[in-house]
Amino acid sequence: MLELYQSEGCPHCAKVRQKLSDIGASYVIHNPRLPGGEGGDVTNEVTHDELVAGGEDQVPYLVDTEREVTMYESDDIVEYLDEHYA
């Protein structure tokens, strides 16, 4: 199963979502950042702990549970999806 940790409005996340759509992949989406007030984004604690378990506090973050692969960086994720799912 593919899981994508992302944020709406993030162009890097949009790039990964577009690739997932292009290849017709089924995936679960998580939004660890919710729209906040004046201070910017407010962390969604439920998914934030899962996000930082990969070692960084950034999105996009892809988890491929079938291959036991996790990765950040949109270009790396798109390349990985092309290699394994396209």
pLDDT (tens digit per residue) in 19-48:
999 999 999 999 887 665 554 566 788 888
Residue 16 · residue 60 · CB < 8 Å: yes
Q: What gap in Å lies between CA 33 and CA 42, rounded to an integer?
A: 6
Q: Is the pLDDT of residue 80 over 70?
A: yes
Place of tokens 């960084």: 56
pTM to 2 decimals? Answer: 0.87
34 pairs with which residues across the strands? 42
Domain residues for the domain of 72 are 2-59+67-85
Q: What gap in Å lies between CA 26 and CA 22, rounded to an integer?
A: 11
Q: What is the CATH number of the domain that holds 8?
A: 3.40.30.10
